[in-house]
């Protein structure tokens, strides 16, 4: 019977091999609350082992988007899983959650065990960095739905926070300070536009370009595939020292769409341009296509992956805590009356 299934394009044995290859990666994300093992029908997590008094579960789900197309073209699959974890984890961290466990969904045209292992390695890297367990997932071989070399990748995360410590934005006031945490580059947003520019302006993913900061002889494709930063540890470090009033994860729509989500229609934000270093990938692209910086900021993160609102007297402690967690932070603006985002 398996031969008939294989003739239809589904290789069950390759699926078993892929699961076997990913076991060690899953194992290193283990938390003591995880029950059962890989291969069960459902992932189990013993919530009773946590010490929260009034726990609130916070969940998030997301994918990597068309950044996957670059992974296909570069034939590099070992970091794209970090992006999948980061896009989910950073969203729930913005509400004060401790990430607990993650599940992935990989749909592919052909199950290549080595490629699946590389993807899961990246997922495990992201989970390990965030402190959450990879407790399960699904790899679906779907010939005819995807080309043999293509796949889609999405994830789902569950976290927890004390009810009284949820970050809701309700305590924000005018005069509060906006602290920006540095991004690693474009992260996982805006790649449909980036790919359009690559085609229109004849850019070569395999080439190195002047004006683009490169380490270890990175090509343009290598720079673009730099994985999204994970902010769970940095936010947890800050929470030990100060009260974070609001957080915004800067994703698609850049500053103008995401910063107002911190405090709804009650306030606005004034952003000080030039108050943080902009990664060279953004200036490289804007110079090539002739797009103004402010227009870029309405699409991309421009070097700031997460924004925190804190009281003025807690700015120094916030920046110190972020740096202690191994990240960089900058004072980038203030909360003002009105709505939306203005620049000066």
Higher pLDDT, 320 or 9: 320
Let me know whether 248 and 320 are in one domain. Answer: yes
Same domain, 230 and 85: no
Q: For the chain, what is the radius of gyration of the CA atoms?
A: 21
Residues 17 and 105 placed together within one structural domain of the fold: yes
Whether residues 118 and 257 share a domain: the answer is: no
| CB contact set of 150 (below 8 Å; sequence gap of 6+) | 68, 72, 108, 109
Q: State the average pLDDT over residues 186-202.
A: 95
Q: Evaluate if residue 246 carries a pLDDT over 90.
A: yes
**Residue 152: is its pLDDT beyond 60?**
yes
* pLDDT for res 18: 67
3-state secondary structure of 223: helix
How far, in Å, are 46, 97, 310, 315 from residue 161 at the CA level?
Answer: 16, 5, 19, 23
Task: Say if residue 183 is in the same domain as residue 219.
Answer: yes
Q: Which of 108, 131, 162 corresponds to the end of one domain?
A: 162
Q: What CATH code is carried by the domain that includes residue 180?
A: 3.90.650.10
Q: Per-residue DSSP letters for 71-83?
A: HHHHT--SSHHHH
pLDDT band at 2 (very low <50, low <70, confident <90, very high): low
Q: Tell me whether residue 171 is in a domain.
A: no
The answer to whether position 168 is within a domain reads: no
On whether both 280 and 315 belong to a single domain, the answer is yes
**Per-residue model confidence (pLDDT) at position 38:** 73
Q: Does pLDDT of 12 surpass 80?
A: no
Last residue of a domain, one of 162, 191, 213: 162
Token pair of 333, please? 């603006």
Place of tokens 């994300």: 29
Regarding whether 154 and 7 lie in a shared domain, the answer is yes
Query: Containing H/E element for 140?
Result: strand 133-141
Range of lowest pLDDT (19-33, 86-100, 236-250, 261-275): 19-33
Report pLDDT for 6: 61
As a whole number, mean pLDDT of residues 293-309 equals 93
Highest mean pLDDT out of 260-264, 272-276, 315-319: 315-319
Residue 141 inside a domain? The answer is yes
Task: Indicate the SS3 state at residue 14.
Answer: helix
- Structural domain contains residue 169: no
The pLDDT assigned to 26 comes to 79
Residue ranges making up the domain that contains 65:
1-162
Rounded to whole angstroms, how far apart are CA atoms 316 and 153? 39
CATH classification of the domain holding 85 = 3.30.1330.10
Split at pLDDT 50, 70, 90, the class of 8 is low
Query: 């990666």: which residue's tokens?
Result: 25
Q: Is residue 308 within 8 Å of residue 238, measured between CB atoms?
A: yes
How far apart (Å, rounded) are the C-alpha atoms in residues 89 and 132? 9
**Which residues are CB-neighbours of 161 under 8 A, at least 6 positions away?**
52, 55, 56, 58, 95, 96, 97, 98, 167
| Together in a domain, 154 and 180 | no
Which pTM does this prediction carry? 0.93
Considering the domain architecture, whether residues 211 and 321 belong to the same structural domain is answered as yes
* Domain end position, chosen among 162, 184, 218: 162
What is the number of structural domains in the chain? Answer: 2
Which residue has 């952003």 as its token pair?
Answer: 271
Q: Where are the alpha helices (DSSP H) in the chain?
A: 2-7, 12-27, 67-74, 80-93, 113-130, 191-200, 220-224, 232-239, 254-258, 280-289, 293-297, 315-324
220 with 152, same domain: the answer is no
Q: Are residues 322 and 212 in the same domain?
A: yes
The pLDDT > 70 percentage for the chain reads 94
Mean pLDDT for the chain overall: 91
CA-CA distance, 133 to 27, in Å (whole number)?
Answer: 9
Q: Which of 40, 46, 10 is nearest to 26 (CA)?
A: 40
In this predicted structure, what is the pLDDT of residue 339? 87
Whether 30 and 123 map to the same domain: the answer is: yes
């Amino acid at each position: 019977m398996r031969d008939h299934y294989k003739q239809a394009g589904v290789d069950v044995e390759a699926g078993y091999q892929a699961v076997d290859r990913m076991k060690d990666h899953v194992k290193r994300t283990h938390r003591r609350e995880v029950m059962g093992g890989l291969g069960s029908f459902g992932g189990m997590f013993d919530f009773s082992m946590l010490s929260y008094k009034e726990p609130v579960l916070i969940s998030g789900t997301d994918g990597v988007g068309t950044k996957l197309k670059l992974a296909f073209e570069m034939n590099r699959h070992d970091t794209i899983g970090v992006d999948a974890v980061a896009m989910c984890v950073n969203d729930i961290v913005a509400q004060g959650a401790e990430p607990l466990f993650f599940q992935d969904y990989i749909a592919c045209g052909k199950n290549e065990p080595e490629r699946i292992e590389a993807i899961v390695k990246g997922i495990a890297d992201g989970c390990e960095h965030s402190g959450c367990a990879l407790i399960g997932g699904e790899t679906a071989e779907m010939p005819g739905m995807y080309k043999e070399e293509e796949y889609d990748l999405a994830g789902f995360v569950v976290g927890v926070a004390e009810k009284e410590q949820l970050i809701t934005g309700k305590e924000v006031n005018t005069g509060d300070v906006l602290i920006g945490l540095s991004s690693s580059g474009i992260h996982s947003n805006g790649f449909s536009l980036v790919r359009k520019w690559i085609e229109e302006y004849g850019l070569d993913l395999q080439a190195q370009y002047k004006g683009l900061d490169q380490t270890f002889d990175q090509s343009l494709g290598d720079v673009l595939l730099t994985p999204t930063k994970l902010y769970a540890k940095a936010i947890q470090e800050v929470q030990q020292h100060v009260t974070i009033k609001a957080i915004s994860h800067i994703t698609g729509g850049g500053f103008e769409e995401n910063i107002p989500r911190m405090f709804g229609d009650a306030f606005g934000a004034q952003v000080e341009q030039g108050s943080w270093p902009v990664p060279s990938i953004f200036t490289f692209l804007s110079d090539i296509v002739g797009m103004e910086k402010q227009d870029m900021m309405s699409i991309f993160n421009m070097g700031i992956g997460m924004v925190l609102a804190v009281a003025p007297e807690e700015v120094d402690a916030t920046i110190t805590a972020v740096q202690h967690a191994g990240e960089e932070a900058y004072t980038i603006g203030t909360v003002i009356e009105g709505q939306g985002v203005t620049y000066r």
